[in-house]
Structure 1
């Protein structure tokens, strides 16, 4: 079994390389289906040839520079099915202050969507999130009536952003599968393109995964390259407790000479725990030089379903994961955006200016200790 996940019998091919391998793909039962930016999606016949085997054969014949990859699948690993699942709490957030005058900060969230009750979101985020019918997080229940899968994740993430930035308005794109907690490369790319069209300059991606040959997922990378340099994309570093690079957090965009401008900024966020006098990296968190910031991600309080459902819950929960560390940092940035200060300016200052950081966390790796920006967040219990 592959350590990375992908859509079986789908390939993403750069348009400039299609002529080189199109006939070979046809011989294996693949046909062009649709196009996203510079990528064509090819769809094959079920179980005719395993994607990794076919990719290896194509690379062997045409060289490693061939731009073809799987349609990768990412997910909310471990926080749904593993030891980091949500727990009941008797606590809650205070009501956010009234929405102030002036232009509100747009924050894009690509996640599971928003849980509704009687056609409305959780009271804490009501009036602070924009979503459509396809962005509703339908709740799947097991035989005992308890929620299964990833239901509630998008609401929880949105609540943490609003907690930090009450004047933000979250634009939700509910493309993460509600039952499995998984989302494919192309679906994320489409959501990012939609947020770009809506003028969003701060985006939260609270999911992660490995990729074939440890290279950036092509559809997401190309969608990020289409963003303006003013945009900040905050990504969860994953819950595998490894220094191995996970994506999309591990994407590092490079300046394209022909464009003459800087690309968008991608920030990988790990989770910290505050059990001792000084914060430490959580055991489950992704870590290493590729993680550029940390935020509180252990025993975070956030909105979760409704009072009495599931049994023992009060409409709130305690949850842990880098998903929530990322959401906390996203909200922290949003809270500091104003008429004279963009999300990019706030994020650049946090990452590069040690003098103005609210706090730091000491992170050890093979190169010794380094101080990395750290945000506790208002949702830490």
Structure 2
């Protein structure tokens, strides 16, 4: 074991590690969704959602995120009892001087709500809280541990609505190893990131080698990278959202602009005024949640997460499924578009 302390630069540490097969532990951030571009912050809305029906089914979907937000010991009213969690997965609010939340404690709640909006009553979410709600950092080893725990609980469909790049442009080894330990029928849906770049981010860009180019490796879990689409101008021709990452490593697109979901309680935050317990939010986090929810909706009928994902990305009996046209240095690509239950726009 080698321990590096102080402020040595990453390239120097990597050179010292050499070819030993080791890698630094990585930290991943939630890109620009929360802490950067103000245009991507959650916005107030007058729209609301009808609360979900309660269910006693076993959890079928794992969500690794900031955790779940409680208000006086209760889940957001929209979620009913459809999110299962341990005490360590509960978000503790951090407030600024004005009494409003700092960071994004509600990110996990919002993601779970968007996911469940797509799914029938038998779908419940198993929440794992590993992302720091104040600064948005997710630790490589913590994510890997959460993936292992979901595997041990028998969950084969996992949503990862976060992303980060690494200095050496290689997948973080702990997360990659945890994904390799998942059963072959498992599906992991990950957000492609919000940097308006074609550079790969992880874990979305982790792909296991198939026997033939262009095919999905059916001996390992299927990692689906989801970018954000924008259908606000033309619902029949969704385009890549201005903030979304793109490139040949992105497997699908789903709506990611002004998505409606559960937020803090009504009247909170107090600034800007107008929050009613819901918000509209933009980002690939919510595009991934839509795709995960659509896969979860078909899980029982399909028999496995992989079969359900195939049906969502390549719908049978649909002559001309909707595609997103992506133009980059390699020319034009036509990437599957997953249409979800989407309540558009600010009001």
Common fold: TM-score over 0.5: yes
What CA deviation, in whole Å up to 9, does each residue of 1:200-257 have, x standing for no partner? 111000010111311111000000000001110000000000001110000002369x
2:110 equivalent to 1:164: no
1:300 alignment partner, one of 240, 248, 259: 259
Secondary structure of residue in 2 paired with 1:155: helix
What CA deviation, in whole Å up to 9, does each residue of 1:125-176 have, x standing for no partner? 1210110111011111111111111210000000011101142110000010
| Gap runs ≥5 in structure 2 | 212-216
Match of 1:248 in 2: 203
State the alpha-carbon separation in 2 of the partners of residues 215 and 122 from structure 1. Answer: 38
Match of 1:192 in 2: 147
Q: CA deviation at 1:46?
A: 3.6
Q: Is the 8 A contact 2:59 2:126 kept in 1?
A: no
Match of 2:279 in 1: 317
The TM-score with structure 1 as length reference comes to: 0.82
Q: CA deviation at 1:377?
A: 1.8
State the alpha-carbon separation in 2 of the partners of residues 171 and 68 from structure 1. Answer: 31
Secondary structure of residue in 2 paired with 1:252: coil
Secondary structure of residue in 2 paired with 1:148: coil
State the alpha-carbon separation in 2 of the partners of residues 176 and 282 from structure 1. Answer: 25
2:321 equivalent to 1:366: no
> In the TM superposition, what are the counterparts of 1:176-215 in structure 2 within 5 Å?
176-215=131-170
Between 1 and 2, higher relative CO (CA 8 Å, sep ≥ 6) is seen in: 2
Distance 1:368 1:338, change over 3 A: same
Q: Give 4+ residue runs of structure 1 displaced > 3 Å after superposition.
A: 44-47, 349-358
Secondary structure of residue in 2 paired with 1:304: strand
State the alpha-carbon separation in 1 of the partners of residues 41 and 32 from structure 2. Answer: 8
Q: Is the 8 A contact 1:204 1:233 kept in 2?
A: yes
Q: Is the 8 A contact 1:358 1:375 kept in 2?
A: no
2:187 equivalent to 1:232: yes
State the alpha-carbon separation in 2 of the partners of residues 360 and 342 from structure 1. Answer: 25
State the alpha-carbon separation in 2 of the partners of residues 353 and 119 from structure 1. Answer: 41
Match of 1:268 in 2: 225
| Gap runs ≥5 in structure 1 | 1-21, 31-43, 60-64
Match of 2:5 in 1: 45
Cα RMSD of the aligned pairs, angstroms, is 2.0
Distance 1:210 1:354, change over 3 A: farther
What CA deviation, in whole Å up to 9, does each residue of 1:55-93 have, x standing for no partner? 12442xxxxx43121211112111112221101000011
State the alpha-carbon separation in 2 of the partners of residues 117 and 354 from structure 1. Answer: 42
> In the TM superposition, what are the counterparts of 1:136-151 in structure 2 within 5 Å?
136-151=90-105
2:300 equivalent to 1:338: yes
Instruction: Tell me which structure has the larger Cα radius of gyration.
Output: 1
Count of aligned pairs: 330
The TM-score with structure 2 as length reference comes to: 0.90
State the alpha-carbon separation in 2 of the partners of residues 120 and 166 from structure 1. Answer: 22
State the alpha-carbon separation in 2 of the partners of residues 337 and 358 from structure 1. Answer: 20
2:302 equivalent to 1:328: no
What CA deviation, in whole Å up to 9, does each residue of 1:90-132 have, x standing for no partner? 0011223454x8x556100000001101111101112101101
Q: Is the 8 A contact 1:230 1:344 kept in 2?
A: yes
